[in-house]
Structure 1
Amino acid sequence: MEKLIKILSKEVSDAFEKCGYESYLGSLTVSDRPDLCQFQCNGALTAAKRYKKSPLQIANEILNVLKDSCSFKDISSAGPGFINLNVNDSMLADYLNMMNRDEKCGCDKANNILTIIVDYGGANVAKPLHVGHIRAAVIGEAIKRISRFLGHNVIGDVHLGDWGLQIGMVITELKRRMPGLPYFDENYTGEYPTDAPFTISELEEIYPTASAFAKNNEDAMEEARKATFELQAGRKGYVALWRHILNGSVKDLKKVYGSLNVEFDLWLGESDCEKYIDEMVKYLKENNYTYESQGALVVDVAKESDSSVIPPVMILKSDGSSLYSTTDIATIWQRVEDYNPDMIIYVVDKRQDMHFEQVFRCVKKTGIASENLSLEFIGFGTMNGKDGKPFKTREGGVMKLQDLIETIQSSVLDKLDASKGFSEEEMGDVARRVGLSALKYGDLSNQVTKDYVFDIEKFSSFEGNTGPYILYTIVRIKSILNKACSKEKYCGSDLIQKPYSQCELDLMLKLSKFNETIEFSFLTKAPNKLCEYMYDLSNTFNKFYHSNRIISEENQEKKSSWLCLSSLTKKVLETSVELLGIEVPDRM
């Protein structure tokens, strides 16, 4: 479906053209004075200078052409030449009825279907997910779902950190604890055990111990570096041990990501691009993109127009080992070869801005990525505690993500009304769904690039701009429709009629902007814009609900229209929360 504002703009543009002016001047915007009108056109002011007429004269010419239009209820000129317009109520009702019949509530499939890779995991194996991982997961999942909703071919990649120094630290710590394991015997020729020599809970303890020891002991750090280098060089025992670490970690990661309704199409890591590095380095050398600097192999990515220093990208260290920049560039090489994407979106902490600026410049300069490949860095801010510092446990440590999920579910559980007759199982399911909405909406409703304060009490509240409030509105509409069905077998087949009141008109106008909101959220990669819309729509519906007795309304035509309008509101809100990866309970 064409967006309502575009349909109306087309008619005004035609009027400008009919009067001898350029059609683009007829573009409409949503009025910044809703008390005066719903839409406005400032084209007459723009045209005045070029056509040497007063803006008011031009505006009145346009009004004369549009005076018999069926699309507008009223049109007027104001001030120096603004054109104020209100859409015809019947046209608005017809538009909403088309939305109601459409599977995607008026959102068309994109004309230009793109292949998009969203890189939004970044978890490190051998470590549990902590609160610092939540933003990449929920923002990336929302961007993936919104993009896919518009028909794009979207591939979500977890891009695990599974090939770096932390693996070397774990290997050397295991060697200190269990030196007799066959993985450490270079002369061992038999089959390695199929079961890991550790549990996932033991692995979660091994890494921090190894890390702390290596940071305070240079010999241990050097041993970890050596183990990392030998692993990457293919030492069989270390590779077998690495597979145990990877398999155990991925199983646990899938469980925790799954509890957030976050799903990946690809479970690839840094290790998966290792086979491309030699070929990539050879290509860079043969095409004279590299040079040596203090023994390291680098590519210069600075530009004359730079206002600040952009350091060269290091491809290989002086000992020949690779770095994060190496694997990130090789991953782009791999993605281009495997998927030929139109766009790659990285959802990563904003503090990595310089790293990705270097990587993007390098792949563009060297031709690894064509000019047509769009590379987007979505740098997000940090989730902070009430003290304004990165969110910690009460003991001052970094909280595990699973513990955070359980904490907010517990907070929601305390708010549920046990008198409503919930079974223990239902209480748990409602707390899980509502808790998830509190956690994800609390994050996504903030501008991606901004830091924000995580407030459990605020986010789990059933009032205000929160996930539970959005869900409560949907559940309220479900209850209204269920009561209508039980009384009169309402099945949602009737039509939305012209509005009977201002609050109903406000609701209809807000619903008509759904496709516009989805498209804008996609173009700007800003899920918070969808959250703003959901909150405004929920507020607008609840005002409408409190102003009208929907179920007891005696005028059947009015009642039927209201039920149909409520049904469309539910459909739009349910679609919206699904795009954020939030589930709706049957009742709250």
Structure 2
Amino acid sequence: MKKIMELMAEELSAAFEKAGYDPAYGRVTVSSRPDLCEYQCNGAMAGAKAYKKAPFIIADQVADQLKDSRIFSMVEVVKPGFINLKLDESYLASWLNEMATHEKLSVNTAEQPKTIIIDYGGPNVAKPLHVGHLRSAIIGESIKRIGRFVGHKMIGDVHLGDWGLQMGLIITELKHRQPELVYFDETYTGEYPSEAPFTIGELEEIYPCASAKSKEDEEYRKEALEATHLLQQGNPGYTALWNHILNVSVTDLKRNYANLDVSFDLWKKESDAQPYIPEMVQHMKDEGYAYEDQGALVVDVKEESDTKEIPPCILLKSDGASLYTTTDLATIVERMKLFNPDEILYVVDKRQELHFIQVFRCARKTGLVKEDTKLSFLGFGTMNGKDGKPFKTREGGVMRLENLISEIDEEMFHKIVENRSVKDKDAQETAKIVGLSAIKYGDLSNQATKDYIFDIDRFTSFEGNTGPYILYTIVRIKSILSRFKENGGDLEAGTLLPAVGISEKNLMLQLAGFGATIENAFEEKAPHKICAYIYEVSNAFNSFYHETKILSEEDPMRKQSYIRLITLAKRVLETSIDLLGFTAPDKM
């Protein structure tokens, strides 16, 4: 289905051509002066130099070709040569009626669907999720959903950190605490217990304790390094413990991500990439890409065009140990072999940018990916507190994610109870739905690459550019439709009629922008554009609602048209928030 802007541009391009000018000048944009017009074309200004004519002469000639246009109700030339445009109300209503029957509300399915692996989440096992994990999860989930909606095969991978010194530290601390466990008996040949010798709570206490000890006690650190080495060499007892750590951690991680309505197709781990490392490293040596430098094995990735120093990519340390870089490269090898993706997109803290520049260049230089495989990095900014510093607990520590969610749910519960719009027994569940909108919209309404202030008071407000305000708008529409139906109305009957009021037409114009917004948001990996759009739609609906007696309208055809219009608004808003990763309750 063609977008309304495309159709307008085609009309303008044809008019430019008929007037004897290049049709490329027929580009249409949303007006920067909505008090004067809805859209504008500045092509005459751009063409003046090429045709050595005053822009208003070109504009007049183009406008003359649009006298009988069925698309525009107004075509007006304003000096020095702007063409101001208003959409014809009948044409707009007709286009929206078609949009309402379109499977994806005017969003076109990609003609050449791509397979895109999106790497987001990135938690470490044995550690609780904290607020630092929030942005990756929320942004990645939204981009995955938008990509699927426009027709691509999106594969979400959590990419767990499970293979470094942290494993050795946990094993060492367990050995100190419970040396009698069979996992530490080198003569043991039986089956290892199926139940883990620790709970998630104990595991989360063990790691920081072990980490602190290793910084103060060199012997303890050496023991942990040896345990890590033994694990990576396949020690059976340590491998059994490692599996317990994974199972307990992943179960807890899945529960926490489910609370955020975030899910992954793959629960791949750093350890999954280990088998690919030896062959990958050998390939880089054999082809002359890798060389020794001060005992380490490195690959040069600097380029002549670099304006800053890009250090070599270190594959192996002098002791032969691999690094994150090695694992990330081997993960690319694994992904290419298993999925042959068209693109691998990483949603990671922007402070990791240099690391990914090195990894991407190394992967491309050494032929780990095909020439047309795209490697992308979306680096997100920091979530800060009101003091402008990284968000902390009141005590100054890193806040656990489930505590943040709980705090916001509690805030929403109090507001909903004060509002008295939901019965007490439903208020708790409603608070969770609205609280999630506050968190996700609060994050996603900011451009991903920028730092932002996480302000609980503002994000949980029912007014302004917030998740709860968007949900309140959807709930208001649901309430009107519910009352209409209760009074015997048919939600499917009738058709959208041309607008008779300014606020009605403005709502129609906003809804017409849905398809272009979604496609652009995916193209630019920018969920904040959907947030900005639905805020405008919500404002447009609420203006229309306050100025229009929808249910008491006496003309039955006009009333039915209003119902069709707000039904379309509800579908647009609900589809949009689903792409952002949250839903709306029936009442608030």
Q: TM-score, structure 2 length as denominator?
A: 0.98
1:61-93 alpha-carbon deviations (Å, 9 max, x no partner):
211111111111111211221111111111111
Which piece of structure 1 moves more, 76-85 or 514-523? Answer: 76-85
The CA distance in 1 between the partners of 2:505 and 2:409, in whole Å, is 37
The CA distance in 1 between the partners of 2:381 and 2:369, in whole Å, is 28
Alignment of 1:269 with 2:269, yes or no, is yes
Per the alignment, residue 68 of structure 1 pairs with 68
The CA distance in 2 between the partners of 1:18 and 1:421, in whole Å, is 59
- Whether the 8 Å contact between 2:312 and 2:358 is mirrored in structure 1 is yes
Per the alignment, residue 519 of structure 1 pairs with 519
The CA distance in 1 between the partners of 2:188 and 2:322, in whole Å, is 28
1:93-492 paired onto structure 2 within 5 Å:
93-417=93-417, 420=420, 422-492=422-492
The CA distance in 1 between the partners of 2:555 and 2:424, in whole Å, is 41
The CA distance in 2 between the partners of 1:577 and 1:374, in whole Å, is 28
- Whether the 8 Å contact between 1:229 and 1:321 is mirrored in structure 2 is no
Q: Percent identity?
A: 57
> Kindly tell me: are residues 421 and 355 of structure 1, through their superposed partners in 2, closer, same or farther at Cα, counting changes over 3 Å?
closer
For residue 84 of structure 1, give the secondary structure of its aligned residue in structure 2. Answer: strand
The CA distance in 1 between the partners of 2:406 and 2:482, in whole Å, is 32
For residue 329 of structure 1, give the secondary structure of its aligned residue in structure 2. Answer: helix
The CA distance in 2 between the partners of 1:543 and 1:216, in whole Å, is 64
The CA distance in 2 between the partners of 1:57 and 1:345, in whole Å, is 49
The CA distance in 1 between the partners of 2:300 and 2:173, in whole Å, is 38
Displacement after TM superposition at 1:103 (Å): 2.5
Q: Which amino acid aligns with 1:452?
A: Y
User: Which ranges of 4 or more aligned residues in structure 1 deviate by more than 6 Å?
Assistant: none
1:300-342 alpha-carbon deviations (Å, 9 max, x no partner):
0001111110001111111111110001011111111111111
Per the alignment, residue 548 of structure 2 pairs with 548
Q: Which amino acid aligns with 1:552?
A: S
1:166-197 alpha-carbon deviations (Å, 9 max, x no partner):
11111111111112222223333222111111
Displacement after TM superposition at 1:367 (Å): 1.2
> Kindly tell me: are residues 425 and 233 of structure 1, through their superposed partners in 2, closer, same or farther at Cα, counting changes over 3 Å?
farther
Displacement after TM superposition at 1:424 (Å): 4.1
Aligned CA-pair RMSD: 1.3
Displacement after TM superposition at 1:420 (Å): 4.4
- Whether the 8 Å contact between 1:130 and 1:401 is mirrored in structure 2 is yes
- Whether the 8 Å contact between 1:391 and 1:454 is mirrored in structure 2 is yes
Displacement after TM superposition at 1:264 (Å): 0.2
For residue 314 of structure 1, give the secondary structure of its aligned residue in structure 2. Answer: strand
Q: Which runs of 5+ in 1 are unaligned?
A: none
Per the alignment, residue 23 of structure 1 pairs with 23
Alignment of 1:562 with 2:562, yes or no, is yes
Q: Which amino acid aligns with 1:518?
A: I
- Whether the 8 Å contact between 2:421 and 2:587 is mirrored in structure 1 is no
The CA distance in 2 between the partners of 1:586 and 1:172, in whole Å, is 52
For residue 33 of structure 2, give the secondary structure of its aligned residue in structure 1. Answer: coil
Q: Which amino acid aligns with 2:267?
A: W
1:494-528 alpha-carbon deviations (Å, 9 max, x no partner):
21111111111111111000011101110111111
Q: TM-score, structure 1 length as denominator?
A: 0.98
Displacement after TM superposition at 1:155 (Å): 0.3
For residue 488 of structure 1, give the secondary structure of its aligned residue in structure 2. Answer: coil
> Kindly tell me: are residues 509 and 372 of structure 1, through their superposed partners in 2, closer, same or farther at Cα, counting changes over 3 Å?
same
Per the alignment, residue 44 of structure 2 pairs with 44
Which piece of structure 1 moves more, 93-102 or 468-477? Answer: 93-102
1:56-95 paired onto structure 2 within 5 Å:
56-95=56-95
The CA distance in 2 between the partners of 1:526 and 1:421, in whole Å, is 34
- Whether the 8 Å contact between 1:492 and 1:567 is mirrored in structure 2 is no
The CA distance in 1 between the partners of 2:420 and 2:187, in whole Å, is 68
- Whether the 8 Å contact between 2:493 and 2:560 is mirrored in structure 1 is no
Per the alignment, residue 10 of structure 1 pairs with 10
Displacement after TM superposition at 1:39 (Å): 1.3
The CA distance in 2 between the partners of 1:35 and 1:265, in whole Å, is 48
Q: Which amino acid aligns with 1:73?
A: S
The CA distance in 2 between the partners of 1:419 and 1:446, in whole Å, is 28
Q: Which amino acid aligns with 1:68?
A: D
- Whether the 8 Å contact between 2:131 and 2:391 is mirrored in structure 1 is yes
Q: Which amino acid aligns with 1:253?
A: L
Displacement after TM superposition at 1:347 (Å): 0.6
Aligned residues: 588
> Kindly tell me: are residues 33 and 302 of structure 1, through their superposed partners in 2, closer, same or farther at Cα, counting changes over 3 Å?
same
Displacement after TM superposition at 1:423 (Å): 4.3
Q: Which amino acid aligns with 2:265?
A: D
For residue 77 of structure 1, give the secondary structure of its aligned residue in structure 2. Answer: strand
Which piece of structure 1 moves more, 296-305 or 391-400? Answer: 391-400
The CA distance in 2 between the partners of 1:431 and 1:376, in whole Å, is 36
Displacement after TM superposition at 1:54 (Å): 2.1
1:78-116 alpha-carbon deviations (Å, 9 max, x no partner):
122111111111111111111111231111101221111
- Whether the 8 Å contact between 2:491 and 2:564 is mirrored in structure 1 is no
Displacement after TM superposition at 1:31 (Å): 1.2
The CA distance in 2 between the partners of 1:423 and 1:173, in whole Å, is 50
The CA distance in 2 between the partners of 1:387 and 1:427, in whole Å, is 32
The CA distance in 1 between the partners of 2:75 and 2:547, in whole Å, is 28
The CA distance in 1 between the partners of 2:13 and 2:176, in whole Å, is 76
The CA distance in 1 between the partners of 2:550 and 2:446, in whole Å, is 34
1:272-295 alpha-carbon deviations (Å, 9 max, x no partner):
111111111111111111001111
For residue 35 of structure 2, give the secondary structure of its aligned residue in structure 1. Answer: coil
Per the alignment, residue 535 of structure 1 pairs with 535
1:198-254 alpha-carbon deviations (Å, 9 max, x no partner):
111110110111111112222222222222222122222211110000010000000
Which piece of structure 1 moves more, 549-558 or 518-527? Answer: 549-558
